[in-house]
Structure formats: structure tokens, C-alpha cells
Chains A and B, each alone.
Chain A
Amino acid sequence: MFLALHEVKKEKLRYGLVMGVILLIAYLIFILSALAQGLASQNTAAVNSWQSQSVLLSKDANGNLAQSMLTKEEMPKVSSTKQDQVGLAQGILKAGDARQSATFIGLANNSQIQKQTKLVQGRWLQNDTELVLSDQLKQQGFKLNQKVTMGLSNQTFTVVGFAKNALYNMSPVAYGSLNAWPAVKGVNSEFAGSGIVSQGKLRTDNDNLQVLSKKELFNKMPGYAAQNQTFLFMIAFLIVISIVIVAIFLYILTMQKLENLAVLRAQGIPSSYLIQNTLSQTVLIMVVSVGLGTLLSALTGLVIPKAVPMSFDPVLMTGTAVVLVLTGIIGAVIPMRIIAKIDPVSVIGG
């Protein structure tokens, strides 16, 4: 570390530029990760907040719970306290001139989902004409006791509460009564709901129904998998680019001081010491750059408008930071190999 620290201290501009580039890459990766996480959360927040593990729905719905409709005959009875019948309908929430796309989720009284959902304001609905809206709708101007209409129903609902993490497939959720669902969906009362959500594993013997795990349900959501894979590829490419940049920088820096390193080797300084210093230098550069990148990302998170769906998950950020430091070490492999092969004879005579 002795050589590493002194070199960075002496060559502030050179190493400042290297660190600046890595900081910007780290910042970009953190922002993209936060965006990916935030956008994914807009699809999954509600289902995740329910602690559900599997869902049962119509096979014809192609895995899309909001498109699933089960008749009263098809809808299995709820067999445990960990299961809820749900009715989903995507439609327009109207309040005067205000209009907002939303997903209506109809629930029975005393459902598990109700118990798992945290309210940020108001209370849970007590009858078929009340709604609990996503807190995102609160930020968009919806208020308690406001009269609204939802989907194809002519019923006027009253907003009685706002719930945290109530987002499903990129739209805010309006929790209501399962009895109100047919009207909101625009189907007759022969239909009982969209399916069953369970905190455990579901099974079915009915060929017209299918059971999906939570992960399968998310991946079947329109655009969800494509969006996540796009972000994943962008992040993966950035990580690969960061490896290449670190490798190129360290290669150039090592080549520039090759003769000097050869002199040190001639004087008996072991190559292991010089390699160790290069490794320490890489870790130092990466930790400082990624650390500053993390700080910058956190500051960005504080000032970014709430409408931007960014979610800074400390665990994900720490994991990404560790991956970036490890990529730096991978990038240092070529320079370390060069140092290991330095021939001290090359600097003597000519």
C-alpha cells in the first residue's frame, strides 16, 4: 500500500481523472439500478406487500391476472386463512375532471391482503361503495372523502384511505369490495372474480385454471420481463465497460512505470510486493470512486422528483458496489501479470 498511496498522492490529476471516470460509471450503474428497481416496483409493489407466493387464475388469461375472469362455479372456495379471492379490473378512476388509469382490486371483507396492506392515511373500506387508493394517487391530488367513479361502474365511490406500496403493473391500485368488481369490470354477476392469491402454494385440478408462482406472475405482466432485461443488459454492459476501462487505465499506468518497476525488481524488491501494491491501488481507486458514486447517487435520490420511479435499495446498492470493486480487481489482472514478468535485466546497460 506504501507505493500505491504515495503514487496516488503525487499523481493527483492522473488518478483523479481515472477515479472521475469510474465514479461516473458507478453513478450511472446506480441510477440505472435504482430506475430498474423503481420501475419493477411499480409492477410488483402491491403483490409483494401482500406476502403472496402463488396465484390461481384462468388459463385463458395468459398469465395476466387482470384479464382473468372466473365464474362462480369455476372460482374455488378459499381453503385457508392465507388465501384471498380477488377481482382485478384495469380502468379509469374519475373525480370531476381528474382522470387516472388505475387497477381496481376487489377483496372480500377481512381479507389477508387487507391485513398486509399498510395505510398512510384514513381507514380501510367498510362497504361496497368505499375505496382505498394508492398513496401515489394522493400525491396526484386525490383526497379523503372525495367522490370518484371507477372503470365501467356507474357507482359513485368514496375515498376512505390511502395505502402504501399499492402499485400493480405500472398503475396505482384502488382497493374496493369484491362485490363491486363485476360492475367495475363490466361483466355480469355470474363472474366471481379474477382468481385466488395465496401466501402459500396453490393447486388446482381444473384444466381451465392455472397456478403461477409470484415470479411467473410478474414475468407474465405485459412489458415487465422486457423492461427488466433491458435494464439488466445495460447494467451488465456498463460493468463490462468498467472492467475494460480499469484494465486500460492500469495497463497504461503500468507500462509508463515499467522501467521504474524493473529497477525495483533489480534491487531485490519482490514482484509479489509490487503486485500487492498494484492490487491495493486498484482497490483504493475503486473503493473511493464507487464510494463517491454511491454518495452522489444518494444525493440524487434526495433531489429527484417523486414522479421519477427510482428506488434506492441499500442492499442492492451495496451489492452493486461490491461487484464494481471486484470488476476493478479483474481489470487489474493484466497489469499484475505484466509486473510478474518484468525482467530487471532490461534496465541495466544498453
Chain B
Amino acid sequence: MQRLELKNVNKVFGSGTNRVQALSQVNFEAKAGELTLILGPSGSGKSTLLTILGGLQQPTSGEVLINGNRFDGKRGKAADDFRLKHIGFVLQSYSLVPYLTVAEQFQLVDKVKKAGNLPPKQFDNDLNRLGITSLLDKYPGELSGGQSQRVAIARALYANPDFILADEPTAALDSARVQEVGRLLKDIAEKEEKAVVVVTHDLRLKEEADRIYQLVDGKISLEKS
């Protein structure tokens, strides 16, 4: 079973009087089949945590483990390669390439990741489940906020990653769409055996989560497991 862990992770920015402790002794775990929520107010360190989980930056100290193996040492091309194969990001904005149609967003993944992407039949099922089959010829500028977010999720899924890391995926959505995206992420975690981690301050997602962490001033606590 896929497992993403942080052990005693600290992240410090700056030094001297400019020193900021963004994360302090963070212990965290996300498992395949679960939707894990990291809740916290702005400036609590959520994004820093997400970027460390995704290998975009290194912790000052502590360990990042994937299935028990250290991941925090990977840098440069090795980190890029790892992200491409194992981690799917769903971001708050600018998530889709504006000059590619929805279908071409997936073709781009094929260009850089030649093997291991979802087989056509399974991907067609995902497109149906996400309700975006009719949007394949449209450009991102022609999509609503909810449609864009579903396409972003589909693109993350297409690379068939083990982990999906979402940064405020419901920020631009109305309440109905928040529920829809929440259910969708939960569905993906359960049916496709992915570990889905969502960083948000949107409390409306709580009811869909299997595991909830609270992050305040860089300190994490487990609220629901």
C-alpha cells in the first residue's frame, strides 16, 4: 500500500532576525485509499508542507518517506522524474495550459511521460466519471471554474500517480461545486487506490475526509484518523 510520510520535519526560512520557522517537528502520514485533509489558516505553513510532500523543496531537517524510503534527497532531474511518475498536482490556479485544448492537456503528459499513463479504456471511464468527455475540444478559457478543476484532476489522474496533492482545489468554487469536488477526490482515493492529500482552509471538505490534520503556526495535530 502506497504511503507518504513526514517524520520530525522542520522548515526554516531566513536567518537571524529574519528567521521564520514555517514547520516545526511535523509528523504526517497519507495512505492509498484515503482522502487526507490538511486544514489551517493562511500563513500556517500548509503550502510549505505540500511543496515538501511533493519534493519541490527540501526540509531543513527531518525525513520525507515514500513507502518507507527516503525521498527528501532527490533533487533536479531525479526529483522531476519522480514527480512526473508518482505525484499528481492539482493547483488552485493557472493549472491548465491556456493554449492547449482539454484533449491536448493529456497529450502533453504523453509527450513527457511515454509510459505508465492510464490505458485508454480506464481513462475514458475517468473522463465520464468527471463529466468532461464533452469538453475535450475546448480551451481552458472556455471552461467554468468547476470544469477547469475537474480537468486538472483528470490530468493529474492521467499520469497514473500514486499520490495526488491538491492545493486549495475548491478556492474558486461555489458550495455545490465544493461538495462535488470533495466527493470526486474521495471517490478517486477509494476506487483508484490513490493517496489524496488536500491542503485547504475550506471546512466544507471535512465530511469527505478520512484523515484530517490541523496545521497552526507550523505545528501539526491529527484531528481525525
**Chain A to chain B contacts (Cβ below 8 Å), 20 pairs:** A3-B108, A9-B99, A10-B98, A10-B99, A260-B98, A263-B95, A264-B97, A265-B80, A268-B81, A268-B87, A268-B112, A269-B80, A269-B112, A270-B77, A270-B81, A345-B57, A348-B50, A348-B91, A349-B168, A350-B47
Q: Is A267 within 8 A of B167, CB to CB?
A: no
Asked if B46 is at the interface of the complex by the 8 Å CB criterion, the answer is yes
Given contacts A268-B85, A268-B113, could you give 5 more A-B pairs where the C-beta distance is less than 8 Å? A260-B94, A260-B98, A263-B95, A345-B51, A349-B51
Asked if B82 is at the interface of the complex by the 8 Å CB criterion, the answer is yes
Which one of A3, A7, A264, A348 contacts B56 once the chains associate, using CB atoms below 8 Å?
A: A348
Asked if B199 is at the interface of the complex by the 8 Å CB criterion, the answer is yes
Q: When A and B form their complex, what is the total count of cross-chain residue pairs whose Cβ atoms lie within 8 Å?
A: 88
- Give A1-17 as 1s and 0s: 1 = Cβ < 8 Å from B's Cβ atoms: 01100110111000000
Q: Is B112 within 8 A of A266, CB to CB?
A: no
**Chain B residues whose CB sits within 8 angstroms of the CB of A237 once the complex forms:** none
Asked if B89 is at the interface of the complex by the 8 Å CB criterion, the answer is yes
Q: In whole angstroms, how far apart are the Cα atoms of A344 and B104 in the complex?
A: 22
**Chain B residues whose CB sits within 8 angstroms of the CB of A270 once the complex forms:** 77, 80-81, 84, 112
Residue of A nearest to B50 (CB): A348
Do A268 and B84 form a contact, CB below 8 Å, given A2-B111, A3-B97, A350-B47?
yes
Q: Is A267 within 8 A of B89, CB to CB?
A: yes
Q: Is A263 within 8 A of B94, CB to CB?
A: yes
Q: How far is the CB of B198 from chain A (nearest CB, A)?
A: 13
Q: Is A349 within 8 A of B50, CB to CB?
A: yes
Q: How far is the CB of B17 from chain A (nearest CB, A)?
A: 23
Q: Is B199 within 8 A of A269, CB to CB?
A: no
Q: Is B46 within 8 A of A349, CB to CB?
A: yes
Q: Is A6 within 8 A of B104, CB to CB?
A: yes
**Chain A residues whose CB sits within 8 angstroms of the CB of B89 once the complex forms:** 263, 266-267, 348
Question: B: which residues have CB within 8 A of A?
Answer: 42, 46-48, 50-51, 54, 56-57, 77, 80-85, 87-89, 91-95, 97-100, 104, 107-108, 111-113, 139, 156, 159, 167-168, 199
Q: How far is the CB of A349 from chain B (nearest CB, A)?
A: 2
Asked if A347 is at the interface of the complex by the 8 Å CB criterion, the answer is yes
Do A348 and B112 form a contact, CB below 8 Å, given A263-B94, A267-B89?
no
Q: Is A6 within 8 A of B99, CB to CB?
A: yes
Do A267 and B83 form a contact, CB below 8 Å, given A10-B139, A345-B51?
yes
- Give A87-103 as 1s and 0s: 1 = Cβ < 8 Å from B's Cβ atoms: 00000000000000000
- Give A263-289 as 1s and 0s: 1 = Cβ < 8 Å from B's Cβ atoms: 111111111010000000000000000
Q: Is A263 within 8 A of B80, CB to CB?
A: no
Q: In whole angstroms, how far apart are the Cα atoms of A2 and B106 in the complex?
A: 12
Which one of A6, A257, A273, A348 contacts B51 once the chains associate, using CB atoms below 8 Å?
A: A348
**Chain B residues whose CB sits within 8 angstroms of the CB of A269 once the complex forms:** 80, 84, 108, 112
Q: Is the interface of A mostly helix, strand, loop or mixed?
A: helix
Residue of A nearest to B171 (CB): A350
Interface residues of A in 325-350 (CB under 8 A from B): 344-345, 347-350
Q: Is A273 within 8 A of B91, CB to CB?
A: no
Do A263 and B82 form a contact, CB below 8 Å, given A2-B111, A345-B57, A348-B56?
no
Q: In whole angstroms, how far apart are the Cα atoms of A271 and B84 in the complex?
A: 12
Residue of A nearest to B110 (CB): A2
Q: How far is the CB of A81 from chain B (nearest CB, A)?
A: 67
Q: In whole angstroms, how far apart are the Cα atoms of A273 and B97 in the complex?
A: 15
Asked if A128 is at the interface of the complex by the 8 Å CB criterion, the answer is no
**Chain B residues whose CB sits within 8 angstroms of the CB of A257 once the complex forms:** 98
Q: In whole angstroms, how far apart are the Cα atoms of A3 and B91 in the complex?
A: 20
Residue of B nearest to A273 (CB): B112
**Chain B residues whose CB sits within 8 angstroms of the CB of A265 once the complex forms:** 80
Q: In whole angstroms, how far apart are the Cα atoms of A11 and B141 in the complex?
A: 13
Q: Is B99 within 8 A of A7, CB to CB?
A: yes
Q: Is A268 within 8 A of B82, CB to CB?
A: yes
**Chain A residues whose CB sits within 8 angstroms of the CB of B108 once the complex forms:** 2-3, 269
Q: Is B84 within 8 A of A267, CB to CB?
A: yes
**Chain B residues whose CB sits within 8 angstroms of the CB of A7 once the complex forms:** 99
Q: How far is the CB of B50 from chain A (nearest CB, A)?
A: 6
Q: In whole angstroms, how far apart are the Cα atoms of A265 and B50 in the complex?
A: 15
**Chain B residues whose CB sits within 8 angstroms of the CB of A260 once the complex forms:** 94, 97-98
- Nearest 9 A-B pairs (CB), nearest first? A349-B47, A268-B84, A268-B83, A10-B99, A259-B94, A7-B99, A270-B80, A345-B51, A2-B111
Q: In whole angstroms, how far apart are the Cα atoms of A348 and B87 in the complex?
A: 15
Q: How far is the CB of B42 from chain A (nearest CB, A)?
A: 8
Residue of B nearest to A258 (CB): B94
**Chain B residues whose CB sits within 8 angstroms of the CB of A273 once the complex forms:** 111-112
Q: Is A6 within 8 A of B100, CB to CB?
A: yes
